[in-house]
């Protein structure tokens, strides 16, 4: 059985990190607020002989926002599960900057506990780590408000729209103040406008917190808008087709999606994806 990466939590980190205006570039301000991820010679074969990942070497420095782009079934999710420690590679090594960093994972669907209200869903990760009730509820309330769900604190998932559920899922990931945030096509099932809004919110949160983010998607505009760096994977067996630093300013207002520079970046990824599809 794969070793479970125990995730550490300190009550003192409940307080939101102070925002620093010093550097607009989201290099982590607080000591240890982000963690590096290194993949060396990763290969993953699913029995009997499905090679999901051929050979991937990748280094993600602390605080980087990395998008992984690839066609459906290209092993993107497999890669993310390996980083999370939810799966073991057949060969190669996943190493993180330090042992057991607080890690959060957001799935393609919200995957909330349907019998719990938004507040108690968001408090779950703290509850599992034994944080006392009043602390965890205060932290959960703050996280819920941070994603703009303050009105829905006491509602059940069945009473929420898809976008609201995804926000709750994001709040549940953020409540642990993760140093590593992994997202697996989190907004793929949402309508375009909701998706844009959540992308903008996610980027704002990343700039505020400075954690390392690995974001898996098959959307070129999404990868372009969000990431500092985009890695394009090939069809199975996955290998890196392109490793591209996104040449866009750090400040990315919603309107940037209409600019020529944005289109140029999308074009680079589009061409790589064309290659990847072959």
Partner 1 sequence: MSNRWRVILPPLVPFVVVTVGVEVLVRSGVIPSYVLPAPSAVFESVFRDFRELASATWSTTKASVAGFAASGAIGVLIAVALSSSRWVERAFYPYAVFFQTVPIIAIAPLLVIWFGFDLRTVIASAFIVSVFPVIANTLTGLLSTDPALRDLFRLYGASPAATLWKLRLPSALPSILTGLRIAAGLAVIGAIVGEFISGSGIGGVIDVARTQQRLDKVFAGLLLSSLLGLGLFALVNLASRLALRHWHASEQSR
Residues near partner 1 (CB under 8 A): 4-7, 81, 84-86, 103-105, 107, 109, 111, 113-115, 124-125, 127-129, 156-158, 176
Give whichever of 116 and 239 is closer to partner 1, judged by the CB atom: 116
Q: Could you please report the per-residue DSSP string of 156-184?
A: -GGGS-HHHHHHHHHHHHHTT--SEEEEE
Please, what is the minimum distance in Å from the beta carbon of residue 124 to partner 1? 8
- C-beta separation of 277 from 70 below 8 A: no
Backbone angles phi and psi of 213, in degrees to 5: -125, 130
What b/e string do you get for 20-35 counting C-beta neighbours within 10 Å, with b at 16 or more? eeeeeebebbeeebbb
Please, what is the minimum distance in Å from the beta carbon of residue 113 to partner 1? 7
Give the neighbor-by-neighbor strand order of the sheet with 37-46. 50-60, 37-46, 91-96
What SS3 state is found at 229?
strand
Give whichever of 113 and 245 is closer to partner 1, judged by the CB atom: 113
Give whichever of 79 and 240 is closer to partner 1, judged by the CB atom: 79
CA distances from 243 to 234, 266, 277 (A): 12, 14, 16
Give whichever of 71 and 157 is closer to partner 1, judged by the CB atom: 157
Tokens at 270, concatenated? 């589009």
Please, what is the minimum distance in Å from the beta carbon of residue 160 to partner 1? 11
- Residue 265: count of CB within 10 angstroms of its CB: 24
Please, what is the minimum distance in Å from the beta carbon of residue 147 to partner 1? 18
Give whichever of 71 and 101 is closer to partner 1, judged by the CB atom: 101
Please, what is the minimum distance in Å from the beta carbon of residue 103 to partner 1? 6
Strand partners, 45: 51
Give whichever of 22 and 158 is closer to partner 1, judged by the CB atom: 158
Please, what is the minimum distance in Å from the beta carbon of residue 153 to partner 1? 14
Per DSSP, 2 falls in state: P
Give whichever of 66 and 84 is closer to partner 1, judged by the CB atom: 84
Q: Which of 186, 184, 177 is nearest to 205 (CA)?
A: 177
- C-beta separation of 267 from 253 below 8 A: no
Please, what is the minimum distance in Å from the beta carbon of residue 109 to partner 1? 7
Q: Are strands 65-69 and 50-60 parallel, antiparallel or unpaired?
A: unpaired
């Amino acid at each position: 059985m794969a070793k479970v990466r125990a995730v550490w939590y300190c009550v003192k980190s409940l307080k939101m990190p102070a925002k620093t205006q010093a550097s607009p570039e989201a290099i982590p301000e607080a000591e240890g607020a982000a963690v590096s991820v290194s993949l060396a010679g990763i290969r993953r074969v699913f029995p009997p002989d499905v090679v999901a990942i051929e050979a991937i070497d990748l280094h993600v420095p602390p605080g980087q926002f990395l998008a992984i782009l690839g066609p459906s079934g290209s092993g993107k999710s497999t890669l993310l599960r390996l980083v999370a420690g939810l799966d073991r590679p057949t060969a190669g090594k996943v190493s993180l900057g330090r042992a057991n960093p607080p890690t959060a994972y957001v799935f393609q669907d919200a995957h909330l506990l349907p019998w719990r209200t938004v507040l108690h869903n968001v408090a779950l990760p703290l509850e599992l780590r034994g944080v006392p009730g009043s602390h965890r509820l205060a932290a959960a309330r703050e996280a819920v408000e941070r994603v703009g769900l303050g009105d829905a604190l006491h509602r059940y998932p069945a009473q929420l729209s898809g976008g609201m559920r995804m926000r709750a899922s994001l709040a549940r990931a953020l409540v642990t103040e993760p140093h590593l945030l992994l997202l697996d096509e989190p907004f793929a099932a949402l309508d375009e406008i909701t998706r844009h809004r959540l992308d903008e919110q996610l980027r704002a949160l990343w700039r505020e917190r400075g954690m390392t983010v690995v974001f898996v998607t098959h959307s070129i505009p999404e990868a372009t808008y969000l990431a500092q760096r985009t890695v394009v994977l090939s069809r199975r067996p996955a290998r890196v087709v392109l490793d591209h630093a996104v040449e866009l300013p750090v400040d990315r207002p919603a309107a940037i999606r209409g600019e020529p520079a944005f289109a140029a970046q999308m074009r680079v990824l589009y061409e790589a994806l064309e290659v990847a599809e072959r």
